[in-house]
Structure 1
Amino acid sequence: MPTILLQTPIEASPEICYKLSLNVDLHKISASRTGEHIVAGVASGIMKLGDSVTWRAKHFGIWQTLTTKITFAEPYVQFVDEMTQGAFKSMKHEHFFEPTGTGTVMKDVFRFQSPFGLAGRFFNHLILENYMREFLIERNRQIKEIAESNLRNRFL
């Protein structure tokens, strides 16, 4: 199962980083290049434990739908979102927020499985793992940029 590990230092508190990471309005901005938009579930603001959202976006030239649910939440420390419906065979994204002397290290552990057995594993290795890594890096770049600016108040 491919696993993507990221660490993003942010000069903001764990509370701010946690809330921004759960904000669907901010996610829409970070995923704008794929035309990602909400078609069901939490339509705006900050998600919480038990909430779900269904996204529609164009990846690899194909419109796809993905529903995720917040399955675990320990405010300002960690939360987990998992796919309940979508193109992956499975997907789990763990988010960790560790305080530092200058703010927070936001850590992502993103695990996914593609369908289609050996062909899916081949696609993961050649294309999908790097694609998802870049997608998450852009998401984290947007969170960092907003967390470290006065714009953060728009999303909190």
Structure 2
Amino acid sequence: MKVYKKETIQLVNASLDECWDFFSSPKNLQKITPETMGFQITDYDGKSMYAGQIIQYKVSPLLGLKLSWMTIITDVKENSYFIDEQRFGPYALWHHKHFFEATPNGTKMTDVVHYALPLGFLGRILNTLVVKNKLNEIFDYRTKTVDKLFNSK
């Protein structure tokens, strides 16, 4: 299985506490996800993020096809990082680390995603033709949205 890595870094004009409060709340996921993804949380306990928390949602990444996705928060260190992993969904592997670091100019956010696709050789072709570009679109949208929310003050 081929494992891919996507990493982004963004400086946010907000305190570490403000960033943590926003990004560690599952209810804000929809705000930073493109509308074209059809993102909808279907099950979430409404609590602040904690290790073991399960979040279920539907997404439509391609051609309007609705896919179910279940994420578990595997590790949390308040104001520092959290990790989510897909338990059920479109990927053979999805491991997403979110890091937060205070800087003199705000908060440095680093996302590191390791992912793999099912279907072996076909999955590798799909990644090259579709998935890699779609992930770039999603993270670009997120960057622009975070800029509007925090960096245009």
Separation (CA, whole Å) in 2 of partners of 1:72 and 1:140: 24
The runs of at least 4 aligned residues of structure 1 exceeding 6 Å deviation read none
Aligned residues: 149
Q: Which residue of 2 aligns with 1:28?
A: 30
Structure 2 contact 38–61 (Cα < 8 Å) conserved: no
Separation (CA, whole Å) in 2 of partners of 1:148 and 1:75: 23
Q: Which residue of 1 aligns with 2:78?
A: 75
Equivalent in 103, 107, 122 of residue 104 of structure 1: 107
What is the TM-score with the length of structure 1 in the denominator? 0.86
Separation (CA, whole Å) in 2 of partners of 1:34 and 1:45: 24
Separation (CA, whole Å) in 2 of partners of 1:147 and 1:52: 27
What is the TM-score with the length of structure 2 in the denominator? 0.88
| CA-CA distance at 1:149 after TM superposition | 7.1
Separation (CA, whole Å) in 2 of partners of 1:49 and 1:57: 23
Is structure 2 residue 11 aligned with structure 1 residue 12?
Answer: no
Give unpaired runs (5+ residues) of structure 2: none
Separation (CA, whole Å) in 2 of partners of 1:133 and 1:139: 10
Give unpaired runs (5+ residues) of structure 1: 151-156
| CA-CA distance at 1:19 after TM superposition | 2.2
Q: Which residue of 1 aligns with 2:118?
A: 115
Structure 2 contact 36–61 (Cα < 8 Å) conserved: no
Separation (CA, whole Å) in 1 of partners of 2:78 and 2:144: 21
AA in 1 matched with 2:13? E
Structure 1 contact 15–75 (Cα < 8 Å) conserved: no
Separation (CA, whole Å) in 2 of partners of 1:57 and 1:101: 37
